[in-house]
Structure 1
């Protein structure tokens, strides 16, 4: 059974059809890239899945359960983690404290963080930092990290909820070539090891075609391609889209 199943999602804004009957699924251990030109409907689709906006019609199922219209908080409780295009960490805290805060929030114990940080979920935080290759930076303030390390810290924080599905919005934005390829290789390893389903949007085609297991392409709110990176790269409709002769509505 798929971790995420999106069924015939549609959404319009006035006379603009942002999504038109979009369906796809993501399985455990799979990295699915959602791509398309600006205005294709990617953000609308992503934010419906996350619960930030409501679809006009269609269904979102998580682990077989209908979660259509659920709030972002409910989605987090159902096992959905998220990272953002602009990394969101606490610069004044250490790397470890950031992860401890995420763990406490996931367990509804944020007020407990008023006690000394070193006593709270330290082992769990360090295990997540080990997974994301940030253990050596645990005692450094997040504000002192290079941007690639900030993104790995944000990944550790997203994993604090023990998600079944991870949503990544432009995960490599602002990163150099080597940094972004290294980050996505890490995400792929975590997905395989933890049985994590990953849905990500991305503009860097080296990331998409180098690391995704499957790629889906939106144009004018419709799904025009769904297949392996090789299949999608060879699809004439996709080539047409990226040559700029078609677009859509975000």
Structure 2
């Protein structure tokens, strides 16, 4: 499989603290790669370097072969990188449809329409995105009244508004009930594989990680300590010592 995302030898320090030291990763189209590790392992710093919120001290980030290292987040988004966050970020007073229309307007750079998306942005595209995530029936409801699991689906639709080649998902199932977690990750995997979208996600729920990731990369103190298929990573002695051995084989770490 060809690589959608390639990050090579990423380093980032804050003062004398090496938050990330020598991380290399690769995600192919349609693949789900989980980035895991104990608190302070460097996962968020890696995400922020990939997304352009932080510039690496050294190393390189390439999206579909193009160098995006240190590019501003808005430019990274326009290059085809979608992102979801641990805590959902939607406009609660606006409808589900309007939230997705806002993302479409931004993607098309029609900022002059930003405060009047309804009627100016054809709703067909927004409705198609909501259909993909199972939320078309709730298009007219304000986001502020939705259940949390439904908000996560809306956020996924928003992340898909720029036709991403890569999805960065920061703890996508945080705060969700177990059944909702499984449903969301099954939906994400199906969308990724059907659309050839590469997915990199962080997650503390090991049932989610081992149940849905194609490969897993484990960090500890900013350094990679294991990478491979879920069963190989689960059996790795060092991973069990620094992470899974804490009792995190089920539920939250």
Q: Compute the TM-score of the two structures, normalised by the length of structure 1.
A: 0.95
| 1:24 CA drift (Å) | 1.0
- Which digits, 9 at most, give the CA deviation of each residue in 1:142-191, with x for residues without a partner? 11100000000000001001110000011111111011111010000000
User: Structure 1 stretches of 5 or more lacking a match?
Assistant: 245-250
Equivalent residue pairs, number: 244
Runs (4 or more) in structure 1 with deviation over 2 Å come to: 113-116
What is the CA–CA distance in structure 2 between the aligned matches of 1:70 and 1:234, rounded to whole Å?
A: 37
Q: 1:119: Cα distance to partner?
A: 4.6
After superposition, residues 1-250 of structure 1 pair within 5 angstroms as: 1-115=2-116, 117-242=118-243, 243=245
Distance 2:129 2:45 in 1: 31
| CA distance in structure 2 between the aligned counterparts of 1:5 and 1:120, rounded to whole angstroms | 34
In structure 2, how many angstroms separate the alpha carbons of the residues matched to 1:196 and 1:116?
27
Deviation at 1:215, TM superposition (A): 0.4
Structure 1 CA distance, aligned partners of 2:54 and 2:151?
28
What SS is found at the alignment partner of 1:233?
helix
Match of 2:251 in 1: none
For the 8 Å contact 2:102–2:117, the answer to whether it is kept is no
Look up the match of 2:249.
Answer: none
Looking at both structures, which has the greater relative contact order when contacts are Cα pairs under 8 Å and sequence separation is at least 6?
A: 1
What's the offset of the Cα at 1:34?
0.2
Give the Å deviation of 1:116.
6.3
SS at match of 1:162: coil
Whether contact under 8 Å (1:113, 1:120) holds in the other structure is no
**For each residue in 1:115-153, what CA deviation from the matched residue of structure 2 results, as whole angstroms up to 9, or x when unmatched?**
461452200000000000001101111111000000000
**Runs of 5+ unmatched residues, structure 2:** 247-253
Instruction: Please state whether the residue corresponding to 1:161 is helix, strand or coil.
Output: coil
- 1:90 alignment partner, SS class: coil
Separation in 2, partners of 1:19, 1:206: 26
Once residues 197 and 67 of structure 1 are traced to their aligned partners in structure 2, the CA distance between those partners, rounded to angstroms, is: 16
Q: Is the 8 A contact 2:89 2:155 kept in 1?
A: yes
Distance in 2 (alpha carbons) for counterparts of 1:21 and 1:97 = 42
The CA distance in 1 between the partners of 2:120 and 2:65, in whole Å, is 38
**Partner deviation per Cα, 1:87-117 (whole Å, 9 max, x = no partner):** 0001111111111111001111132144461
Call closer, same or farther: CA 1:188–1:116 in 2, change over 3 Å: closer
| Maintained 8 Å contact 2:113/2:120 | no
Aligned Cα root-mean-square deviation (Å): 1.1
Conserved? CA contact 1:128–1:159, under 8 Å = yes
Superimposed CA distance per residue, residues 215-247 of structure 1 (whole angstroms, 9 cap, x where no aligned partner): 000001111111011111111111001235xxx
1:78 aligns to what SS in structure 2?
helix
Q: Contact 1:101 / 1:110 at 8 angstroms: preserved in 2? A: no
